[in-house]
Structure 1
């Protein structure tokens, strides 16, 4: 890109905004070198990097790059066998520490499944040198001071210096506070020329001896190092010199250690600067509400609700700007200060930003082209370059542009052909646009000339546009209207401002009917476009709301499906447990039948006993069709039941007839053969009555010695029932039953309590419990014997 366009469109001000978010001098250098590219591959790569940074900013507040200084110039001195000083080594150490920290940071993100297009590849360029980093941390602090642990020799020397200093202070303290204090002019220990001295009176100079290092302005006080302290001070100085020599040796050795890793560390600094720039560009994109544009392979531009990035977010008016797909030239007409210049600057600046890898202040789905260069002739008072205000300056600029444009260039012309006679200016503007059209460059031009409105209609690949004007407020709205040329507003404005109607009428008579008709047509088009834009905005909002609702419903449905799958698994697990339990109970019933057959020999088992056992087996059957709604099915069946209906009794697998609805809400008295039983309505299913058949029934009486497995005490008085219960239990024990069922009914509960009390007292009873709900519930009790 030519440097002139960067200055004209104030590209540097965008970089200044990004600069605020940088933390390293390497990042500052990377920002200085950043500029628009005309390589689609490089542009897409940069946009992907900014997108990665933007994503990371939202989830982790950005890349944790600390404040760092560039150490490249220091490391290059290692090539001439120079040594680095403490502060320089400290900065190198900070680079290495930051490198290791970022490697761990991104490794954690990778392990947690965070996806990036580019950042992981950038991190792979890092060279982690933990041994050197550890050595520097042990030897140099953050301010560049050499630490005691840098070497054993240094540790010993510094310990010796501390001891010598302690001895000197102790001895000097005796001078200050001992019997010689009367010869002193103060009691403070001071330092002169690196030696501790005491302030003595000038008259007592010979009393102490030693070396005079300084005297007061009046000459009454001498700062003397006593003779007895000279040898100790010399010892301290010799040790201090040894310390400096050891520190120099340490710095030399550390520099030698760094020398083999010079290229690796320099590469690390560049990667850190690159990450810092990505971080800053992502941060700026966030605060400016910018989005990632797509890069058009056909060089088409489609900016949705584009905003100029240097205008306040709360004041800027967004506009849709399209060029390339259906037309390669736009002619914008409209009043002064209506926003024409800002519009073409917005197009040019957003292209520069996008081709630099920056997000652009426009809505999602915006598209940029890839231009080999962008040229502009913007010379009114809104331009940066005020010297482009005369016609000759305009022409010089346009001549230069015409020498450099290609079919892949974008040209921005503000008030093309202005500054000369209107007729000549309009003709010249049309000729310039024709010349640019022959080269097939894209061009956006602003003008006041009405002749160019006709040009926009007559030339293929060219479209008219205008800046909307509000006639009620007599102010521009700054909205760009594509397809509609700007109208002449002078007479309308003059009328609304109160100019005499006769003057207005006279002016209209001097204008051609054709011009008036064109203005009227433009007025109608402007109104229609205004309403269309309003409807489009409303529909966009509704589409956004509908899309948001769709995503929320889709997410909720996914959660529902997951929950449903989980419930199905739980239901199947419960069903498996129930099946295992039912198998155990079924085996127990079968064993009970075998025992009965053995007990009675060849005698047939009574019908009611078989019915009871068959009912127990049938009650074990479970409905495993989870998809059926049992609640609704049972509710419908219950409503259809009436006395006299033929029903199927599920627990017993028998037909029966409803007699009456019992006091309980869900209990019916059912006639099953010769037996009457209380059955829950959930265990009944209405069936069609069968036609009566003439048949003969043969009944065989079983031996009276057979004891049934069920005792029915319902309807008996309490005392008689307890006597019969006692005899029945004895008979059941003699028949070697493992368990029996006592039917005592629900009623008032007195008979049930008596049965329970009896069973508790009987030592032969192992356990007892109420029957299952589908077999009588608390109206009967199952008794197990020891």
Structure 2
């Protein structure tokens, strides 16, 4: 693509934001090189990387990239036999440590929490290199200094250095005390790496030794007294030996690093890629963006899309659809109404998506991969080149028309502007016809009234407008697909106080065709507003119905629980009364047996009487007689989906919509769905079964069930009940594998599906869908 388009659509500003989200200099450098790809498979790969990194960022926040630096130059130098300094060696150790921490972080994320195979594969390529890191850190401290323990020789040399320094200081401090009057200041200082004293000029001969420096005024001489010259010489020799030993240690470390050159280079490449991927994910999170589904059919479908460079209090979300029923959109409307922002939004979202960036829109958005994105936006008038506004626009348009094809996205702002309106409108229509015939995707803005009805006369073209509120005299920035923009000049003028007679006189001067177009637009606008009002009313009614259903369900559950409690309490009370009566009767019988009058009775007669007494207590139940009968009948019959039943607890009739594996059955009564126990149902009518051609014939079974189940849009509890019934059906059908579609969303339904698989004895394993199966939006069950 032409790099000029990056500046026109502000793609370079998005790159600047991406650079700010990178954690390392490696990632920032890679982010600055970001370019859109024109290969669909590569774009899908980039989007998958960003999505997986986004899952990690969403769950864990920041990702550890601390300590990682750009060591490419150091690796290049050791590759050709060079030696690194201590600071460069320390940077290599820090980078090894940073890569190790990142790898441990990703590996410690549970497989069940997030599905990130691409990220896991990348971190698996990071070499730990623990031995090399220990070697470096055993020689160099955290401040980049070679430590005494780097070698025994270095320790011995530094011991000598400290001993000699101590001897020198002791002697010089003794002199500062005894000859303080001869010194400019009673301190020990250093000149030319040797310890000296600041001696006054007139006492030069009192110390002897060597003069290393003097003050600017010449009144102070920095003298190395003769008493410390020899020790200073020993100190200098020790420091030279220290320098030689440090260079030897660093050469050995550099040789060791060179031996791991290929592993370190791999680590740098992988860490750069990971930081780049996570910077894209963090940018998407800051923009509240979503992963678009990419295609190569030129389809753009954005839901509630927002311009990524506008603040939340300024931006207005819009729906934009292009490439299915129509290939071109002509947008009309007032100035500052948002037409140009809409153009830039579509172009910028396309460039972002083709670069692997998520776009600020709702989930489920779709974007196309184009070979080229062309835009003629803004006034590029050049005084130096003697080009007018019209000429500058036409220069750009000519270049676009030479390159446009069916794989192009073309954005025209104020097409045909800057010349005679009649000629400009005709030229604009001719240009649009040419681009549309090339099968390119086109969005154009214009002020010309002749283009307002353009979409009605051309196949594959639709009109659109940006909404304007006449009452407030302000644009709302809402994009209205299918409705051309109205001329609001008369309404605005009336609200600003222009005399009605002047307004009516102006209206009479408008041509008949223009009036017809304005009436048509007004009719469409009225119909649109009415449709939006009807939709809002229907949505509100639906929400109220759902709230009422939830309330009734809760009340029903509360009623059933209270009824069960009362039944249990009554039964316990009755049972106690019966036990007490049985005990009293038993005592009476025993008393009678002991009496003389009872001697005439036979033993078997007493036993029979006792048995009748035990069987005399009533059979208690926790349901009404009608429920008991229904329970008996329910126990003898089975219920099926579609059966018309009576819910005894509510005295209402409904139809069965789901039968669970346990005792619960889901019944729909009007718009309300409730769960009912089998014992609380009575069968009223059963539809005759409809014989259908089976979807699958497995193991000799004609069982009517699909190989996939879509749970999107279902309530959590309802979804699991439907899933349980579906798995039973799939097992009866003999399927070895089924696919459960649950979507991504909040992840609650996906987790519920996976938890269900863990506890079902007929599910051998469960895994997330592959790239061509729906990704983390589906779960695949292996059935036994």
TM norm structure 2: 0.68
Which residue number in structure 2 is paired with residue 285 of structure 1?
284
Q: Secondary structure at the match of 2:239?
A: helix
CA distance in 2, matches of 1:316, 1:632: 61
**Mapping of 1:477-496 within 5 angstroms?**
477-496=476-495
CA distance in 1, matches of 2:549, 2:388: 55
Q: Is the 8 A contact 1:197 1:223 kept in 2?
A: yes
Which residue number in structure 2 is paired with residue 365 of structure 1?
364
Q: Is the 8 A contact 1:210 1:224 kept in 2?
A: yes
Task: Kindly state the Cα deviation for residue 604 of structure 1 after the two structures are TM-superposed.
Answer: 8.8
Which residue number in structure 2 is paired with residue 506 of structure 1?
505
CA distance in 2, matches of 1:552, 1:186: 92
Task: Kindly state the Cα deviation for residue 56 of structure 1 after the two structures are TM-superposed.
Answer: 1.3
C-alpha change, 1:615 and 1:83, in structure 2 (3 Å) is farther
**Mapping of 1:741-752 within 5 angstroms?**
none
1:406 aligns with 2:405: yes
Which residue number in structure 1 is paired with residue 693 of structure 2?
none
Which residue number in structure 2 is paired with residue 121 of structure 1?
121
CA distance in 2, matches of 1:402, 1:155: 76
Task: Kindly state the Cα deviation for residue 537 of structure 1 after the two structures are TM-superposed.
Answer: 6.3
Query: How far does the alpha carbon of each residue in 1:430-460 deviate from its partner, in whole angstroms, 9 at most, with x for none?
Result: 1111111221111111112222223210111
C-alpha change, 1:204 and 1:495, in structure 2 (3 Å) is closer
Q: Is the 8 A contact 1:68 1:95 kept in 2?
A: yes
Task: Kindly state the Cα deviation for residue 492 of structure 1 after the two structures are TM-superposed.
Answer: 2.6
Q: Is the 8 A contact 2:51 2:291 kept in 1?
A: yes
Q: Secondary structure at the match of 1:411?
A: strand
Which residue number in structure 2 is paired with residue 16 of structure 1?
16
Which residue number in structure 2 is paired with residue 6 of structure 1?
6
Query: How far does the alpha carbon of each residue in 1:469-527 deviate from its partner, in whole angstroms, 9 at most, with x for none?
Result: 11112222111111111122223322332222232222222212332232122112113
1:309 aligns with 2:308: yes
Q: Is the 8 A contact 1:380 1:388 kept in 2?
A: no
Q: Is the 8 A contact 1:379 1:386 kept in 2?
A: no
Which residue number in structure 1 is paired with residue 75 of structure 2?
75
Q: Secondary structure at the match of 2:529?
A: helix
CA distance in 1, matches of 2:335, 2:242: 77
Higher mean C-alpha deviation, range 354-363 or range 186-195: 186-195
Which residue number in structure 2 is paired with residue 62 of structure 1?
62
CA distance in 2, matches of 1:143, 1:27: 25
CA distance in 1, matches of 2:17, 2:159: 52
Task: Kindly state the Cα deviation for residue 542 of structure 1 after the two structures are TM-superposed.
Answer: 8.6
Which residue number in structure 2 is paired with residue 333 of structure 1?
332
CA distance in 2, matches of 1:116, 1:549: 41
Q: Is the 8 A contact 2:67 2:94 kept in 1?
A: no
CA distance in 1, matches of 2:551, 2:198: 85
Which residue number in structure 2 is paired with residue 452 of structure 1?
451
Which residue number in structure 2 is paired with residue 428 of structure 1?
427
Q: Secondary structure at the match of 1:463?
A: strand
Structure 2 stretches lacking a partner, 5+ long: 555-600, 629-784
C-alpha change, 1:176 and 1:610, in structure 2 (3 Å) is farther
CA distance in 1, matches of 2:613, 2:152: 94
CA distance in 2, matches of 1:544, 1:68: 52
CA distance in 1, matches of 2:350, 2:257: 44
CA distance in 2, matches of 1:510, 1:530: 29
Query: How far does the alpha carbon of each residue in 1:113-143 deviate from its partner, in whole angstroms, 9 at most, with x for none?
Result: 5321421122123222111111112222344
C-alpha change, 1:202 and 1:529, in structure 2 (3 Å) is same
Which residue number in structure 2 is paired with residue 91 of structure 1?
91
Q: Is the 8 A contact 1:468 1:526 kept in 2?
A: no
Task: Kindly state the Cα deviation for residue 316 of structure 1 after the two structures are TM-superposed.
Answer: 1.0
1:268 aligns with 2:288: no
Structure 1 stretches lacking a partner, 5+ long: 557-602, 624-628, 638-786
CA distance in 2, matches of 1:124, 1:387: 60
Higher mean C-alpha deviation, range 268-277 or range 199-208: 199-208
Task: Kindly state the Cα deviation for residue 94 of structure 1 after the two structures are TM-superposed.
Answer: 1.3
C-alpha change, 1:94 and 1:67, in structure 2 (3 Å) is closer
Task: Kindly state the Cα deviation for residue 182 of structure 1 after the two structures are TM-superposed.
Answer: 4.9
Task: Kindly state the Cα deviation for residue 217 of structure 1 after the two structures are TM-superposed.
Answer: 4.3
Q: Is the 8 A contact 2:380 2:389 kept in 1?
A: no
CA distance in 1, matches of 2:380, 2:527: 33
Q: Is the 8 A contact 2:176 2:186 kept in 1?
A: yes
CA distance in 2, matches of 1:134, 1:534: 71
Task: Kindly state the Cα deviation for residue 14 of structure 1 after the two structures are TM-superposed.
Answer: 0.9
Query: How far does the alpha carbon of each residue in 1:309-355 deviate from its partner, in whole angstroms, 9 at most, with x for none?
Result: 11111111111111001100111112222211111111111111111
Task: Kindly state the Cα deviation for residue 547 of structure 1 after the two structures are TM-superposed.
Answer: 10
C-alpha change, 1:550 and 1:31, in structure 2 (3 Å) is farther
CA distance in 2, matches of 1:544, 1:75: 64
C-alpha change, 1:171 and 1:55, in structure 2 (3 Å) is same
C-alpha change, 1:114 and 1:75, in structure 2 (3 Å) is same
**Mapping of 1:468-483 within 5 angstroms?**
468-483=467-482
Which residue number in structure 1 is paired with residue 349 of structure 2?
350
Q: Is the 8 A contact 1:408 1:441 kept in 2?
A: yes
CA distance in 2, matches of 1:358, 1:548: 39
C-alpha change, 1:186 and 1:445, in structure 2 (3 Å) is closer
Q: Secondary structure at the match of 2:186?
A: coil
1:194 aligns with 2:186: no
Which residue number in structure 1 is paired with residue 210 of structure 2?
211
Query: How far does the alpha carbon of each residue in 1:656-684 deviate from its partner, in whole angstroms, 9 at most, with x for none?
Result: xxxxxxxxxxxxxxxxxxxxxxxxxxxxx
Higher mean C-alpha deviation, range 245-254 or range 201-210: 201-210
Q: Secondary structure at the match of 1:479?
A: strand
CA distance in 1, matches of 2:362, 2:115: 24
C-alpha change, 1:614 and 1:226, in structure 2 (3 Å) is farther
Aligned-residue RMSD, C-alpha = 3.6
CA distance in 1, matches of 2:170, 2:147: 27
Q: Is the 8 A contact 2:326 2:462 kept in 1?
A: yes
**Mapping of 1:285-684 within 5 angstroms?**
285-380=284-379, 390-533=389-532, 536=535, 608=606, 631-632=622-623
Q: Is the 8 A contact 1:456 1:462 kept in 2?
A: yes
C-alpha change, 1:392 and 1:216, in structure 2 (3 Å) is closer
Higher mean C-alpha deviation, range 606-615 or range 144-153: 606-615
Q: Is the 8 A contact 2:333 2:465 kept in 1?
A: yes
Which residue number in structure 1 is paired with residue 222 of structure 2?
223
Task: Kindly state the Cα deviation for residue 151 of structure 1 after the two structures are TM-superposed.
Answer: 1.9
Q: Secondary structure at the match of 1:197?
A: strand
CA distance in 1, matches of 2:427, 2:108: 64
C-alpha change, 1:189 and 1:338, in structure 2 (3 Å) is same
Q: Secondary structure at the match of 1:304?
A: strand
Task: Kindly state the Cα deviation for residue 549 of structure 1 after the two structures are TM-superposed.
Answer: 12
C-alpha change, 1:535 and 1:276, in structure 2 (3 Å) is farther
CA distance in 1, matches of 2:613, 2:293: 74
Which residue number in structure 2 is paired with residue 712 of structure 1?
none
Which residue number in structure 2 is paired with residue 655 of structure 1?
none
Query: How far does the alpha carbon of each residue in 1:642-701 deviate from its partner, in whole angstroms, 9 at most, with x for none?
Result: xxxxxxxxxxxxxxxxxxxxxxxxxxxxxxxxxxxxxxxxxxxxxxxxxxxxxxxxxxxx
Task: Kindly state the Cα deviation for residue 407 of structure 1 after the two structures are TM-superposed.
Answer: 0.6
Task: Kindly state the Cα deviation for residue 545 of structure 1 after the two structures are TM-superposed.
Answer: 11
Higher mean C-alpha deviation, range 195-204 or range 100-109: 195-204
C-alpha change, 1:121 and 1:630, in structure 2 (3 Å) is farther
Q: Secondary structure at the match of 1:109?
A: coil
C-alpha change, 1:113 and 1:497, in structure 2 (3 Å) is closer
Q: Secondary structure at the match of 2:109?
A: helix
Query: How far does the alpha carbon of each residue in 1:713-742 deviate from its partner, in whole angstroms, 9 at most, with x for none?
Result: xxxxxxxxxxxxxxxxxxxxxxxxxxxxxx
Q: Is the 8 A contact 1:373 1:409 kept in 2?
A: yes
CA distance in 2, matches of 1:553, 1:181: 101
Task: Kindly state the Cα deviation for residue 268 of structure 1 after the two structures are TM-superposed.
Answer: 1.4
**Large movers: runs of 4+ above 6 Å:** 385-389, 537-554, 609-616, 633-637
CA distance in 2, matches of 1:514, 1:266: 71
